[in-house]
């Protein structure tokens, strides 16, 4: 994971994790009404973000949690977290609400 991304990332406390079918879930932004679907791995990552975590540690925890992580797991996690941040669902440390 790139150096610049290795900051602490924390879930936006306004966002609701809504567990729906099986282990899938929705992230719900009550201010906009928008939802974002999460697969079970996304839910696992979100729960880490709720505590706040360094991005490198997030990847490590995800890889440790699965026995057969694909070779590009690190990249997938990184992209997912970046997307979550881009959508305003989580924040990098030091960033403020826009």
Interface with another protein by CB under 8 A: which residues? 14, 16-21, 26, 28, 30-31, 33, 35
- With respect to another protein, which residue has the nearer C-beta, 25 or 77? 25
**Shortest distance in whole angstroms from residue 96 CB to another protein:** 19
Query: Which residue from 30, 32, 25, 4 is spatially nearest to 15, judged by alpha carbons?
Result: 30
Cα 48 to Cα 23, 81, 86: the distances in Å are: 16, 11, 18
Q: DSSP string spanning 25-75?
A: EEEE-TTT--EEEE-HHHHHHHHHHHH-EEHHHHHHHHHHH-TT--TTHHH
- With respect to another protein, which residue has the nearer C-beta, 2 or 51? 51
- With respect to another protein, which residue has the nearer C-beta, 31 or 72? 31
- With respect to another protein, which residue has the nearer C-beta, 20 or 79? 20
**Shortest distance in whole angstroms from residue 38 CB to another protein:** 12
**Shortest distance in whole angstroms from residue 52 CB to another protein:** 19
**Shortest distance in whole angstroms from residue 61 CB to another protein:** 23
Bridge-partner residues for 66, per DSSP? none
């Amino acid at each position: 994971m790139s150096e610049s991304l290795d900051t602490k990332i924390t879930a936006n406390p306004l966002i609701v994790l809504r567990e729906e079918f099986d282990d899938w879930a929705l992230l719900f932004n009550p201010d906009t009404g928008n939802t974002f679907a999460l697969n079970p791995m996304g839910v696992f990552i979100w729960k880490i973000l709720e505590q706040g975590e360094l991005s490198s540690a997030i990847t490590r925890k995800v890889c440790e949690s699965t026995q057969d992580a694909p070779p590009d797991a690190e990249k997938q996690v990184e992209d997912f977290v970046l997307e979550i941040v881009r959508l305003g669902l989580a924040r990098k440390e030091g960033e403020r609400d826009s």
